[in-house]
Structure 1
Amino acid sequence: MSISSQVENCLTEQGIEFKVISSETVVPLHQLRSASEISASSIVTMVILEDCIGKIQLLMAANTFLDLTRICEALGRNFQGLTEEASSKLAEKHGTERIPAIPLLNDIPTVVDSSLLACTQLYLEVGDSESYLELSQQQFLKLVESAESGNYCVPAVALDIEDSSVSQINQAVEQFTTLRIQQRLEQTLEMPPLPETAERIIQLRINPEAGVGELAEVVEKDPSLAAQVVSWASSPYYAAPGTIKSVHDAVVRVLGFDLVINLALGLSLGKTVEIPTDGPHGITPYWHQAVCSAAMMEGLVKAMSPSKRPSMGLAYLSGLLHNYGYLVLAHIFPPYFSLINRYIEANPHICHIYIEHHLLGVTRDQIGSALMECWNMPEEVVYALRCQHSPEYNGENKVYSQLLYVGTQAMINHGLAQGPKKPIDEELLAELTLEPEDINAIVQRIIDGKDDLMSMARCLEK
């Protein structure tokens, strides 16, 4: 194990005593899905904030997130998180993958969250995924002796993913009295009705006698949707021979009935809500992310053992709609949508669901899945969306949410999506009959076909 020479030299010059330890020793202590709090030993991460006055660096426990409003009010500033590009440049300057939690490296005022000061042993992130610095409380206090401290962070407690009923969503919405909303979910959220085409496709899905002709007829009644399906099947990503001229061709020659019926359903739903223009710095455009996620799900299902494979079409649809709650969030909570995005920017180390639950009392996954339930979408898709950040979920349709979790995390780890990077549990992969090599190969195919996938996404944005 080794650490950046800059990090090592900086600590040595200041007389800080430390030990370099493997991340395998530390990571289990702060797996948020398994515990609401960790032991007295803490993992320390650092975020850098800026405003028109300048920058500050904040040291905080990795199982907490920064309450941006609280620190802005306390310090009389108007902070926001660094852009992804600026963070990468700073990490590169230190010879690390991410910004190390070593305040001495940067000539920036330091603030320490007070929750760290009572910890007897601390583990500081050094900017890579392999090592941590172990410091005693005495050495940590020496490291931050010139820093200010304050209570600025909130514990990221485990969420009850089962508690995602319509009544809970309504309760969360009704807390925001400025929205003056008091009715049932569909009315409360003022969501547009399920498109007529989507209703027809749902009816077709439950008809065991339905065939290619019926599907083509339904899709072709919506010229825009038909053009998108044909364009999708014509993409070089699928390398279909000849020219795809119709929905019938797309089904028979390229994509298959199961994939097309779910693709058409996903594309139809995508038209119900306007894509928000605001978002965290560097966020992947909605349809770009949806297309890549769908391709990832397709690859994962194909890589699984045949006896374990779920429905390709439902897996594909889950990928296509996995972030639908993001659109609904922007639609329901416009006054708070920008605030949520600013919090996400300021907390790159933690999953967005904890921030959303803190600010709204509900997450995008819960909202998206509740709406799918209202629209009588397949239960597999409902639970895939609801539990996609909870790989420990053990319900009947867990394979869809597990695949979505694996696919999303793999894309994050390879820079294809935004979020905290972390290893994918090998036991989970084994349960899905997948190998790490399978994941890497699927991601590489997406990287190699990214131009084609982006071209498909641009068709959906029109």
Structure 2
Amino acid sequence: MQYLNRQGLSYQQLHHDRVGTLEAAIEAAKVVQDEVAVAEILVDAKGVVMSITPLGKKMDLERLNQMTRRNLQRIAQHQADRLFKDCEPGSHPPVAKAYGVHAVCDETLFSKQQIYIQSGSHTTLLRLSRDCFQQMMGSALKMSACVCTKEYKETPDEKAEAACASFDIKERLNKLYRLPPMPTVAARILQITQDIDASVDDLARIIEQDPSLTAQVLRQAGSALYGYRGEIKTIKDAVARVLGFERVSQIALSIAASKAFDLPKDGPLGLRNFWKHAMHCSLLVQRLAFHVPDKRVDPGMAYLAGLLHNFGLLLLGHLFKPEFGMLNKLAASEPFTELATLEKQVLGMGSAKELVGVGHGQLGSVLLEKWQLPEEVCATAAHHQEKDYEGEFQDYVALIQLANCLLKELELGDDLMPDDPLVYTRRLGMDADITFEVFEQLKQSSAALTDLAAGM
């Protein structure tokens, strides 16, 4: 309101009881929804843009980016709150000039006799005349109705169609491309994990047949991360004294399985960053799993899902080297663009022309199913790029998404596109304060995890 006062723009305040959402405020103030303008913050490498639309509509980013030659993406509400520092969280006045940013505006708003906007407080709306609203918009870029669309929600029929499309993708991949078999050592370790009568001796015997794998497992056990100060000479020592049967088998399985791929080490999607992210994610999801209500998530299975959920990147680099190289460069130059968006630009080109619309998640799930990994792991790989996924293993998917969201703070993961961790804590029914406490503890182990990843 201070900005409006300084500009000499008149407005009327509509006070109402304190509410938690704009929709509730509109109902309390008896305002017509079509006359309400809302702000949404978009970002790309060039900076911030405020999108101003009627409530219930959003900018079509694909069309907007084509018209503006930008690569704008949406950010989460808690990230947008940082721009509106003088406002209550979630109350964002659509006054771009007050915050020093450019604006794009749905042109239909300019024809309204009056416009209602948030004031920055959850107890007050502001009403502006058409002339005052137009003055407030100033040099905002007007967008036609074709660029502004109603908020979209997937219908049950569309979800069923998506499931059929996923099946078609698996069929197409298996027919057109030669998927690598699981390495022999990895396959034998997997068999051991599924054998209830298997012993530590059985596991050690398999791992010790591969000297490099043995060295990596022993290095894991000797890490400062686990705080064991004694000497660890054998795989049996690593199991009995430090890591346990499940952890050793999972680490060994992941390392052995990754040997099926030939991938560049450098770049945001290269092997170095793959393992750095995988090591952080797996430990974080395991620790978070203990705080999911009703024991809905098994911590050990969550750890394995964290290690393997991005295996599709390895398969992508193995099958389609030119496309992977291009994707790796794009990810480096556009870190604040979702990887799923970049994949749509690259997949469908060259030798990957049959994979239009397929992300690395679905690619990885096809391979992990072929290798007969647990259903929870396959589902997590398949759906971790889907923000609103609902299904049998949705808790595992949401937990991976929560971990990936938090790890962006450490600049780890597929991309650095801001996300809201509270979306996932609410979905999982987790205490947000405990979640952030677990993450803070993990951050203290980040150096040790990074050191371990460097040797893989």
TM-score by length of 2: 0.69
The within-5 A match list for 1:228-307 is 228-271=216-259, 272=261, 274=263, 277=266, 279=268, 285-303=273-291
Are residues 1:148 and 2:171 paired?
Answer: no
One-letter amino acid of the structure 2 residue matched with residue 232 of structure 1: Q
Q: State the Cα distance separating 1:293 from its structure 2 match.
A: 0.8
| Structure 2 SS opposite 1:237 | coil
Is the 8 Å Cα contact of residues 284 and 439 (structure 2) preserved in structure 1?
yes
One-letter amino acid of the structure 1 residue matched with residue 452 of structure 2: M
Separation in structure 2 between the aligned mates of residue 352 and residue 27 of structure 1, nearest angstrom: 32
The within-5 A match list for 1:357-436 is 360-388=356-384, 395-412=391-408, 418=416, 419-424=418-423, 428-430=427-429, 434-436=430-432
Separation in structure 2 between the aligned mates of residue 135 and residue 276 of structure 1, nearest angstrom: 55
Separation in structure 1 between the aligned mates of residue 254 and residue 173 of structure 2, nearest angstrom: 21
Alignment equivalent of 2:42, drawn from 35, 42, 47: 47
| Structure 1 SS opposite 2:197 | coil
Partner of 1:320: 307
The within-5 A match list for 1:48-87 is 48-49=43-44, 57=49, 59=51, 66-67=61-62, 70=63, 74-75=67-68, 77=69, 79=70
Partner of 1:214: 202
Separation in structure 1 between the aligned mates of residue 203 and residue 148 of structure 2, nearest angstrom: 52
The within-5 A match list for 1:93-108 is 102-105=95-98
| Structure 2 SS opposite 1:256 | helix
Q: State the Cα distance separating 1:278 from its structure 2 match.
A: 5.1
| Distance change >3 Å, CA 458–CA 111, structure 1 → 2 | same
Provide, for residues 244-270 of structure 1, a one-character-per-residue CA deviation record: whole Å limited to 9, x for no partner: 222222211111111221222222333
Is the 8 Å Cα contact of residues 56 and 111 (structure 1) preserved in structure 2?
no
Partner of 1:337: 327
Q: State the Cα distance separating 1:115 from its structure 2 match.
A: 8.3
Partner of 2:212: 224
Separation in structure 1 between the aligned mates of residue 450 and residue 316 of structure 2, nearest angstrom: 24
Stretches of structure 2 that go unaligned for 5 or more consecutive residues are 26-32, 348-355
Task: Answer 1 or 2: higher relative contact order, Cα 8 Å, separation at least 6.
Answer: 1
The size of the alignment, in residue pairs, is 406
TM-score by length of 1: 0.68
RMSD, aligned α-carbons: 4.8
| Distance change >3 Å, CA 344–CA 156, structure 1 → 2 | farther
Q: State the Cα distance separating 1:317 from its structure 2 match.
A: 0.9
The within-5 A match list for 1:184-223 is 184-186=172-174, 188-223=176-211
Is the 8 Å Cα contact of residues 365 and 378 (structure 2) preserved in structure 1?
yes
Provide, for residues 29-82 of structure 1, a one-character-per-residue CA deviation record: whole Å limited to 9, x for no partner: 9xxxxxxxxx8667532335567xxx7835266965622xx556545x5x4569
| Structure 1 SS opposite 2:42 | strand
| Distance change >3 Å, CA 56–CA 316, structure 1 → 2 | closer
Give the % identical residues.
Answer: 23
One-letter amino acid of the structure 2 residue matched with residue 423 of structure 1: L
Q: State the Cα distance separating 1:318 from its structure 2 match.
A: 0.5
Is the 8 Å Cα contact of residues 45 and 125 (structure 1) preserved in structure 2?
no
| Distance change >3 Å, CA 64–CA 408, structure 1 → 2 | farther
Is the 8 Å Cα contact of residues 297 and 404 (structure 1) preserved in structure 2?
yes
One-letter amino acid of the structure 1 residue matched with residue 253 of structure 2: L
| Distance change >3 Å, CA 60–CA 365, structure 1 → 2 | farther
Is the 8 Å Cα contact of residues 122 and 140 (structure 1) preserved in structure 2?
no
Stretches of structure 1 that go unaligned for 5 or more consecutive residues are 1-7, 30-38, 171-182
Separation in structure 2 between the aligned mates of residue 132 and residue 367 of structure 1, nearest angstrom: 49
One-letter amino acid of the structure 2 residue matched with residue 148 of structure 1: L
Separation in structure 2 between the aligned mates of residue 378 and residue 323 of structure 1, nearest angstrom: 15
